[in-house]
Every structure is written in C-alpha cells, then in structure tokens.
Structure 1
Amino acid sequence: MTQTMTFRPFGAEHLDAALRLSRAAGWPHRREDWALIAGLSKGVVALDGDSVVATALTTAFGDAAMANMIIVDEAMRGRGLGREIMQRALALAEPLEWRLVATASGLPLYQKLGFVECGRVHQHQAALPALTAPRGVRAATAADLPTLIAMDRAATGADRAALLAQLAGSGQIALAEGKGFAMLRDFGRGQLAGPVVARDEGVARDLLSHLLAGKAGQFMRVDTVQDSGSAPGLSQWLVDIGLPQVDTGIAMRRGSLPPQAGGFHRFALAAQALG
C-alpha cells in the first residue's frame, strides 16, 4: 500500500466511484443497486489520494451479517489492500454468523480470515422463455409483509425486515399461503427474482413461475442456493426452462447460528450481496 492510502466510512458521496470500480470488475450493478445495498449497510472505502481504489460493506441482519461489495482496483492488487479493507469492514459488526459469497480468486483471503465453505450459489440468467402462471399463488400486499418477514427469518435465521420492506416497495411479490414467497425487482441488466423462500422445491417453482409468467423475452437473473452435498434441485429446473447457469459463487460463513425450525428453506438469494 502507498503512503497516501487512507480509509474512510463508505458514504453516498462514494457511490459513483464505487460504480466505476464494479463496472471495471465486470459486475452488472447499477447505481441504484449500489444505493440499495449501501443504504442497508456500513462500509469502508480505501483512498489513494482522492481516488477510491477499494470498497467493502457489511450488512447486519440481527444475529447474521453479510460481508459484501468487496472490490479492489486491479492496479492495487497484491499489496495486502484486500485483507486490510476486509478487516476494517468486519470490525463494523459483531454477528453470531458472518456470511459471504466468494469468487475463486477471493477464496484464499476469506479462508485466512476464518471463513469456511458451506455451499454453492448458481447464477442463472438469460432472456426468458414463455411460462404459464400456476394456480395457488397470488400477488402479496403490504398487509402480508409481517408474514413474509416471519417466513424469511425461519429460513435464514436473519432479521431482514428492513430489506424485505424496501424490496416490497420497489417490485413484485408472489405468495403461496403458508408455503412461501418470492420477490422480483429491477437489477443489473434486467430483473432479478429473489429471495425465494418456500417449504419445498415444488412451491419454489410455482412462486417463480408466477413472477416470470408473461415476461417472455425479458432478461432475468436468479441466484440459487445449493448447500454442500445437496442435489441441484431448483438450479436444474431453471436450466430446463431456459435459464442457463452462467457462473458459480462459493457460499462461505464464519461462526454459526443455531439450526432453524419452521420448515422453510431459502431457494434463491435477494442478491449475492444480501443473501
């Protein structure tokens, strides 16, 4: 690191520079996507002089927290900056369990910081084929939000009420009474379907089919969750309906929460940054 390197709290004034970093890294995030995550998070930027050369955010969800939006300018890599900014970001929260989604290149650093692999995140995206809406699923309303929050917490162990409230105000929600929900919103190159929380894979498929019906030709992304040792499940179904898998991330955690009861499971992420 250079002698001019300084660290500052991530603020709204850093959004444009952060967007430039993520675009240079090939990420699809829009400024609005950065603003959503940053508004729910605390974070750190590294400055080389006046230039933002690295970012790292932490998003606390009660007993769980996500480490996310970890980017180091390509010209600044290999100097220990990634480790330094990660340690500073992790110091901003004290959850029982840290979570993140890693790339293969970031894996060694996160392992050194105490994270262990716990599964895979399969990124599916393409222009949508034609799908038929199933029965037994309806559009959720504001009155359903407490029910969605309870189902999400039963599936994730996290308190994501603020996240779900924000997503509910900017997208669509599908609800299968007592069985699960799914959300859809603008993201990146098109739209993203997630989170998807359901009692079983069949319900998850119905929820997604409800949201995606009538959107043939539109660009869609779904990030599915596969725990270590489990079957491909929803990921294979997405391939079968015409949404190919284009990338795979490594789900990691540090620390642990007690096992969740209630019979709900998370089948797709709100975003790789948000779990």
Structure 2
Amino acid sequence: MLLAHDLEGPADAPAVVLLHSSVCDRRMWQAQRQPLLDAGFRVLALDFRGFGDTPAPTAAYSNVEDVLALLDEYGIEQAALVGASFGGRVAGEVAAWRPERVSTLALVCAALRGHPPTPAIAAFGAREDELLEAGDVDAATALNVETFVGPRADEATRHAVYAMQRHAFEVQLAGPEVAGDNTEPDLSAITARTLVVSGKLDVDYFGEIAEVLTARIPGARHVILDWAGHLPNLEDPAAFNPVLLDFLRG
C-alpha cells in the first residue's frame, strides 16, 4: 500500500519530503509547500498510516519502508527529509538505516525512539490515556492542542490541529492494534547534512532529544527558536520558513 500523498514540482528538481507530527497529518505543511516550490524544489508530503487519508494499519508494518516505497514509486533516489516530532523520528530512522537515500535532514522538535520520558511528558501521556480509555476523545484532542500548539498560533491554526488530531484518533481507535518498526537507529550512521530545530517553549522532553540528536548525528547543527512551541512551522510560518529554506539551500 502506498501512503496517501501530494507530489508537486518538476521531476528534475531536488526533492523535499515532508513528514508530519503525530498530532497532525500532511496538511500541517500547507504554509511551507508553496515557498519550497518557489525555491525550486519538488515537494512530497505524505500521510503516515492511520493519519489523514491513509488508512490505519491492519498488519505489521514499517514507517521507514513506507517512506522508501513512496520514493521508489517516483524514482527519487535521494531526497531531503523534513520531519516534525514523530515525523522527525521517522526521518532520522530513514537517514540512519539508508543514509545513501537522504541528502539533507531537518529535524523539527523531533521525537526519538527509546528516549526516557520527562515528568512533564509522562504526565501528558498518562492523562491522554485516561481520557481515551474513558471514551472522551474530544478532551484528549483538546489536551494535545493545549500541550503542543505554542502561543504564537492563532485560533484558526489551533482549530486545524484539533481537526487533524481528532481525525487521527477516530481512524486509529477504530483499527486493530498492530506492531510497527521498533529498532533503535544508529544516529552515528547518518551522513546527511543535518539541522536540529527545537522550540524554547516546547515540552522539555523534546528539548532533551534535540540535544541528544545534535550530539550523536555527525556534524549536526542545533537552532533553538525562542518563540516556538512544538509546531513552529504552524505557529509562525513567516518566522519558520526562512530558517528551513536557508538550510535546504545550503
């Protein structure tokens, strides 16, 4: 199964693949797509399994293999990966397991498999589980928006994140529990030029991860956005886009 996706731009342009957060879907990149196209990139935005327009998984699967299958479908031998939160985790895993396929890597408030939870993120997870077990999907969705959308976001952005997260809960809760990939990546194997972006106002868990990624990925550079929460590309695209474009242009 190919993931639901949008592909725009000329076939001979350098490809940028946009990997979304687990509180969103590929629509989270709407404010980046046109600037990337205007800058001369081919832009591929996808929905992971159980998000957006991609059905929930029904058997064991690999997010990394799903991304690579989409690249193979269009003959994209090498691409820049831009990943937010969960999408950042997947981007790092693709770059570690198949370094020859990734030219450039931008990890935005990225997650990292196996990183120990801080008290703040553990409390969030426990409360989310409690609400979902009680069947209060609306409250669980609101909790995610409150936790992960920073103060610069306007009400329209908060509403959009709410809608994306609510839809993901609906799709995932209706599907069976299945296993995804679970092998921790060797970050030292990454050869892509790498930018790690974190938000000063994000949950502390992701700030810790940003420091680990910067330390373990060879040559990685870390930028802290003092105005940002967990989703800077949504919270203030006008401030975020130049950071991303300058990095991708090299």
TM-score, with structure 2 as normaliser? 0.31
Higher helix share: 2
Higher strand share: 1
TM-score, with structure 1 as normaliser? 0.29
**Bigger Rg, which one:** 1
